[in-house]
Amino acid sequence: MESINPATGESLASYPEHTPEEVGAILDAAAAEFDLWRRVPIAQRAVPMRKLADILESRAAEWARLMTLETGKPIAASRAEIVKCAWVCRYYADEAEQMLADRHIAADRTKSFVHHEPLGVVLAVMPWNFPFWQVFRFAAPGLMAGNVGVLKHASNVSGCALAIEEAFREAGFPAGVFATLLVPGSRVGEALEHPGVVAATLTGSDLAGREVAAKAGSLLKKTVLELGGSDPYIVLEDADVDAAASTCAASRMINAGQSCIAAKRFIVHAAVYDAWLERFVAAMGAMEMGDPLDEGTMLGSMARVDLRDELHDQVVASVEAGATLILGGTVPDGPGAFYPPTVLTDVAPGMPAYEEEMFGPVAAVLKATSEEEAIAMANDTPFGLGAAVFTGDLARGERIAAEQLEAGACFVNTFVASDPRLPFGGIKLSGYGRELADLGIMEFVNQKTVVVA
């Protein structure tokens, strides 16, 4: 398993793949540790979790550099990701005990209540795009609930996977409470079949989600899936055009566009279309590509050359089908997985830019003539992760976000973002289940009904 710097094409390191025997031993150790960890009081579990937050912050520069080298993410964004991981650790260290407290229910008995117990070993299958955050948003609530976690990370970020395991060890978590498996995706089923593994959480493509869900379903093991998105952003005729354009551009370019909740499709009312497009293209074009290790770089490389080439093929196919290329759309000369900010207009059904997730710095722009048409376009997707609406009427925006957009997270006048305090997850082909907040910690606990006559 090799890590390659996507900005240069140079090999960073090679990691030996765990053998089936090693995988079995790691999972056996996790299952054995669960019987001990589940009995540790929540307040005591919080002690290493808070220390973990301190360690993340103290080693942020070191691990941010590793993250940037393995993914091409700008160094400033990598540091911010580490800091966000510390936040989620402290959040659950502070809140888990209250979240998991017995919930008493009035019934025709002396006492009746819901008691929360951990399930066991949870397998976390995680992607490369946010190699620290994706892991910690599962691990912090999961471990505070008394579960233990085993990470199967993306093969191209094995260095990050091992660094995360090191962080848990340094914080004082017992060895079996969090461990990393160095195996390719083709061997996830092997881990799922282990009798100690009781559930799995996956963040990735809908194809990967189908495969893991099918395998877990055949074993009657629970899953939480956070899959792809084709997030629509609606700009209505009464929106602040300048603010909407800059916010839309910033959201589209999060992590070089390689984010499930980055804006993908922009549906703009005809009354403000020309003014918004002019400002949006200017904002996109101002984000120059550069060395991800430079502090001022806003757009680094994509994570792999094959992913960059796949994205370019989607752009070419969309243009051949009638889309208009307004900006970018050319593979740069030289090494690395770089791709420029790209804007497509005249996007219509049947084109990859309309039908598929564009996982990179490519924006698809559509024109709508009414609020109703804009909402219909927004919902005309098999995905349902995030969505946003821009309007000068907050009540109107709230109504559309709450009642009419088909997504797991809908924002008004700002871009979609994850927050430890807010539930996160999707519907339709974007998956099921929730991470973060109180709903996230409840996904992997037994909500046991207890009745005393």
Report how far residue 77's alpha carbon sits from residue 254's, in angstroms, rounded to the nearest whole number: 9
Q: CA angle at residue 170 from 17 to 143, to 5 degrees?
A: 80
Within 10 angstroms of residue 294's Cβ, the number of other Cβ atoms is 12
Which residue is catalytic, options 33, 81, 165, 226?
226
Known active-site residue 226: yes
Kind and range of the H or E element at 232?
strand 232-235
- Whose tokens are 């300048």? That residue is 242
Known active-site residue 248: no
Which residue is catalytic, options 85, 160, 260, 410?
260
| 403 token code pair | 């009642």
Kind and range of the H or E element at 66?
helix 60-71
User: Nearest Cα to 390, choosing from 253, 292, 251?
Assistant: 251
Which distant-in-sequence residues (6+ apart) come within 8 Å of 269 by Cβ? 235, 236, 237, 239, 367, 368, 369, 370, 371, 374
| 277 token code pair | 């497009």
User: Nearest Cα to 30, choosing from 181, 163, 167, 153?
Assistant: 181
Would you say 389 and 400 are in contact if contact means Cβ atoms under 8 Å apart? yes
Report how far residue 308's alpha carbon sits from residue 310's, in angstroms, rounded to the nearest whole number: 5
Give backbone dihedrals phi and psi of 296, rounded to 5 degrees, phi first: -85, -5
- Catalytically active residues are 226, 260
